[in-house]
Amino acid sequence: NGAYTIGGSSPDYVGFAAAISDLNSIGVCADVTFYVRSGNYNEQLVFGPITGASSTDRVSFVSDTNNTTAPVISNNGVVIGLNDAAWVDFAGLEFTTTANSYLVQLTGHNKGIGFSNNTFNGANIQATSSAYAIFYQSSSSSNYSENLTIDGNTFNNGSYGMYFYGS
């Protein structure tokens, strides 16, 4: 539980990978907030189930309050992968894919995921294929999301802002 920093001078975590690794191996016992400092992070953020996370014990990745510019998280492919993830929030960040792919891919049963006041820069391509959607959830009875909140975000490029199959 508690507040931690990612990046910048004397951080708790240099990047996202170590923070996510600790979440996966240790879990949480109360709210955890990661304050992301300005900078460029070339990483893929992959989330599965986090032990202890719940509607009252959430995990949040937010732009540090001292930032003058939003942190940029980019990857040559999917930037955020959510597979059976729950109770994770993202706020005030910028996400960019540098490849022709999805930016956020949801697989499995995701619950209570929140995105607020972020910027999403999808594939810079002129196409109508769902393969270049910013948010993408494929068709399968095992792929579904509940209580997914997407509020106050900016979407740039990509073939679709959101492409969700239903069953």
The maximal CA–CA distance of the chain, rounded, in angstroms, is: 47
Residue 26: strand, helix, or coil? helix
The residues, ordered by sequence, that sit 6+ positions from 18 with a Cβ below 8 Å of its Cβ are: none
Residue 17: strand, helix, or coil? helix
Count of C-beta atoms within a 10 Å radius of residue 79: 28
CA 47 remoteness from chain centre: 8
Tens digits of residue pLDDT in 118-147: 999 999 888 888 889 999 998 777 788 899
The residues, ordered by sequence, that sit 6+ positions from 29 with a Cβ below 8 Å of its Cβ are: 1, 52, 57
CA-wise closest residue to 75 among 29, 44, 117, 112? 44
* Residue 51 pLDDT class (50, 70, 90 cuts): very high
Through-space distance between the first and last CA atoms of the chain, rounded to whole angstroms = 36
The answer to whether residues 53 and 86 touch, using CB atoms and an 8 Å cutoff, is: yes
Tens digits of residue pLDDT in 40-50: 999 999 999 99
Tens digits of residue pLDDT in 12-42: 999 999 999 999 999 999 999 999 999 999 9
Interior angle at CA 21, CA 19 and CA 23, nearest 5 = 70
CA 102 remoteness from chain centre: 12
Question: 8: alpha, beta or left, given left = phi > 0 and alpha = psi -120 to 50?
Answer: left
What's the one-letter identity of residue 50?
A: I
